[in-house]
Amino acid sequence: MKLVQTTIAAMLAGLLAAGAAQGQDQGKADLILTNGKVATMVKEGEFVQAVAVKDGKVLATGTNAQILKLKQADTQVIDAGGRTVIPGLNDSHLHVIREGLNYNMELRWDGVTTLKRALEMLKEQAARTPDGEWVKVVGGWNEYQFAEKRLPTLEEINAAVPDKPVFILYLYGLGFLNKKGIETLGYSKDTQYKDGEVEIGADGKPTGKLIAKPNALILYSTLARTNKLSPADQVNSTLQFYRELNRLGVTSAIDAGGGFQNYPDDYGVSLQLAKDGKLTVRTSYYLFAQRAGKELEDFQRWLTLTHPKQNDHMFYPNGFSAEGGGENLVASAADFENFLEPRPDLPASMEGELERVVELLVKNRWPFRLHATYGESIARDLDVIEKVNARTPLNGLRFIIDHAETITDRDIARIKKLGGGVAVQDRMHFQGEAYWKRYGAQTRQMPPIRKLLDAGVPVGLGTDGTRVSSYNPWPSVYWAMTGKTAGGMKIWQDKDVPSRYQALKLITTGSAWMSGEEKLKGTIARGQYADLVVLPKDVFTMDVEGVKRLESVLTVVNGKVVYGAGPYQQLAPALPPVSPAWSPVATYGGYQNR
């Protein structure tokens, strides 16, 4: 009996060792990461010491001793030094392609902690900007991140930069032009926009303030009239922005299109870089209709140019995956959240226009997503989707409701029944105070992440960067972990706040569902994409207030190091110098974590 027990114990020990070091019989590793606190994210509280990677995928996880058995002569071995390792972050709603084309000419106030410093940066950048070029701050900030807790005044902006045109974008609500900017654009008391107002002062001249009413058309139309980078600088800018995302731990992103982002023209730079194997963030994209009243024509044309998953979920570095239509399917369905103004009512024509586009997409098996902030809009959108589904069943075709801040319990159930998901962002981190001022104290979580998860609705977390929220995912993760705004206001009840594990799950496997890749990425387990991030602090135990300023010290995409800092700096591939030489990025970089 004792011999039998000993034999069984030995067998069990062998099975456990084999299970802990998954995949040891599958060949030797290209890369091994040792001495880490590796959060597999398969289940809460599960950590291993080491990871082996082969052919861009996780080969095995286990103890240092187990994984080092997979080492061969040319295996790259990296010591994590006891640091926490997590799966790469996946932004389920980021305007990554557009920002790539513009990043090098934008002064980012993201993360700046005082208005005084922000204005100093504006003045410094103007001094190095050549004549004929704009100085631009395009989203990613709000007044509550500043110690002064206020917006800049037009007088301060003009004093900082009197001789170069300046454009500053504030959320979805306001734009600021200095006097030189007004002059350059030729704005006058007669300048009018269908949706928006050029503020006129007592002297009958534009003050420089642009007011979005109710949507941001006036802001984006004005921005489109400023300067653009040359084609060569757009390539450089895209490379720099992707590296910036890698610095912040982003390894995947779903591009949601955007106003003035035309397909295929504005996608050429990113597509070519992807084909050349030079992009370092797995990218899928949705196509955003640009021509109000002619959206159906656009989608009919795009159906002949591309199709979903044409490059197998963008197996880096082989290309892109076009995921479907959205977030603007028809202009009449858009309900931009500008909490400085009353909620807009969608026109009566919306249902008929949306129905034709949704039916086209469903018949052609194109996933789609819809920008919908308010419950009133979501209810009408779902009426249309249900109507189409009755004639042409979705039958597992995925669709996403984006934002969903005030979605109702009834409509959560409808989305679940239809098989949809919800992509949420930290817009309330940036706009919670503005919402409270307009609508009063919040009594329920917005968006209701807890209720969505309890109902079994897939939820992915992102940023909606870069024109409104920042592209940095960590403030979004912080918001999901705390329910706090940038100004420190706690706007969720304790019962609604996810655990740290759950918050990270939202921006890993949760976001992967949004591109149909939840079986391919989001955990550190055998067969998953080898997209890994090493953090300088333990996100599971550190002071939660520090989470919003986390960044990576080592980022791996497809089993290759794409970013390194500190002890890992020499492992990262070199980038070309930032161009043009006067670019704000060359001086300040992007997100101001310093």
Q: Which of 326, 336, 334, 271 has the alpha carbon at shortest distance from 299?
A: 326
Q: Do domains 2-82 and 250-523 have the same CATH topology?
A: no
Question: Residue written as tokens 């490059």?
Answer: 311
Give the pLDDT band (50/70/90) at residue 441.
Answer: confident
In the sheet where 532-534 sits, what is the strand order?
A: 47-48, 37-39, 84-87, 532-534, 554-557, 560-564
Question: Residue written as tokens 């149909």?
Answer: 516
Q: What is the rounded average pLDDT for all residues in the chain?
A: 92
pLDDT of residue 2: 45
CATH number, span 2-82:
2.30.40.10
What's the mean pLDDT in 273-293? Answer: 89
**Beta pairing partners, 254:** 284
Quote the longest CA-to-CA distance of the chain: 101
pLDDT of residue 275: 82
pLDDT of residue 594: 67
pLDDT of residue 323: 66
Rounded CA-CA distance 422/475 in Å is 19
pLDDT of residue 321: 56
Rounded CA-CA distance 229/102 in Å is 7
Give the pLDDT band (50/70/90) at residue 317.
Answer: very low
Tens digits of residue pLDDT in 559-577: 999 999 999 999 999 999 9
The residue extents of the domains of the chain are 2-82, 94-228+579-588, 250-523
Tens digits of residue pLDDT in 490-530: 999 999 999 999 999 999 999 999 988 899 999 999 999 99
Give the pLDDT band (50/70/90) at residue 115.
Answer: very high
What's the mean pLDDT in 370-376? Answer: 95
Rg (CA), the chain: 24
pLDDT of residue 315: 34
Rounded CA-CA distance 369/514 in Å is 9
Tens digits of residue pLDDT in 446-469: 999 999 999 999 999 999 999 989
Give the pLDDT band (50/70/90) at residue 1.
Answer: very low
Does position 206 have pLDDT exceeding 90, yes or no? yes
CATH number, span 250-523:
3.20.20.140
Lowest mean pLDDT among 224-238, 321-335, 518-532: 321-335
pLDDT of residue 70: 98
State how far the alpha carbon of 147 is from the alpha carbons of 106, 153, 256, 433, 535, in Å: 23, 15, 32, 15, 27
